[in-house]
Amino acid sequence: MSGATAPGADTGATVWLTGLPSAGKTTIAHELAGRLRAEGHRVEVLDGDEIREFLSAGLGFSREDRHTNVQRIGFVAELLASNGVKVLVPVIAPYADSREAVRKRHQAEGTAYLEVHVATPVEVCSERDVKGLYARQAAGEISGLTGVDDPYEAPADPDLRIEAHTETVRESADRLHTLLSARGLA
């Protein structure tokens, strides 16, 4: 599509990729971001680790702090999306009520919001252990690991469920792109 702009290129949306640590959320988001940018979309990836460092520094991992973190990210995502940016948000967001509050904010503003559950089983995530969190938890160095000794409330009815452990990153990103296209967003 050299020089052409994709349908929906000027329409913003938030795509929230929720799932356990090491599920593949960020990897899928970056794969999709590259494709969307190549099609002429304005895209931002709001990575959970970067947000914690720069926007939510000082917050811990209590339920209240996790809720506050998700609401801050949701606010920024909606602000960008309402201004024509495709915002990909690979953030655990373990609590259903926190994610629902973000969805409602988007609905109230008339901004598109899609929830994607990257449904990689905890056993696969612990084998991947991208950041060494599962090993540190098993060694007793940390506690409160989402999906192990802290709750993760999987979405009951996400817009898309990706079982990233059964397909390639590109296949996962392609499925997500297909959903965006079907919704007139790509």
Task: Provide the Cα torsion 29, 16, 161, 6; round to 10°.
Answer: -60
Was 19 annotated as part of a binding site? yes
Task: State how far the Cα of 54 lies from the Cα of 101, in Å rounded to an integer.
Answer: 22
- In order, the DSSP letters of 159-186 are SEEE-GGGS-HHHHHHHHHHHHHHTT--
Was 23 annotated as part of a binding site? yes
Task: State how far the Cα of 22 lies from the Cα of 143, in Å rounded to an integer.
Answer: 16
Long-range CB contacts (within 8 A, 24+) of 139-147: 144/61, 145/21, 146/20, 146/21, 146/92, 146/94, 147/20, 147/21, 147/94, 147/122
Q: Pull the structure tokens for residue 163.
A: 């079982």
Was 26 annotated as part of a binding site? yes
Was 74 annotated as part of a binding site? no
3-state secondary structure of 91: coil
Was 21 annotated as part of a binding site? yes
- Name the binding residues for ATP: 19-26
| Residues annotated in a binding site | 19-26
